[in-house]
Amino acid sequence: MNRILSFFAIFLPLLFAGCASNYKALYNWDYYSTQTYKYVKGGNEEDTEKLFEVYQKVLDGQEGTIRETIPPGLCADYGYLLIKAGKVEEGKALLRKEMELYPESVQFMNSIIRKVER
């Protein structure tokens, strides 16, 4: 019986210590999905403003993540919505930022910029 108790006394703490992790997310999305859902469902001005706030938090809040950079597609999405809201220059700047961060998006971002400039 002492052997069993010794076993549990020694190995259980080791087992649980192995379960602990220093988890770091690849990106910090904050409340992006929740607020995007509200925007898509409601689409009113208040939801749009809250979504813009969440975008800004995600853009600014990547410290401590694995990549420490803006998630793919976020600048493009935010830029497109800014263009739709009439903030064309800010939107185009974010589309260019998306191209800078993710070169594979260049053709798509350029096509959006060309459509906006027409």
CA quadruple 86, 82, 116, 100: dihedral, nearest 10: 150
Q: What is the pTM of this model?
A: 0.76
Of the two residues 90 and 24, the one the predictor is more confident about is 90
The amino acid occupying position 50 is: K
Q: What is the pLDDT of residue 83?
A: 95
Nearest to 111 by CA among 99, 82, 85: 99
Nearest CA to 70 among 101, 104, 95?
101
Distance CA 59, CA 30 (A): 10
Beta carbons of 89 and 65 less than 8 angstroms apart: no
pLDDT digit string, tens, across residues 58-77: 999 888 888 889 999 999 99
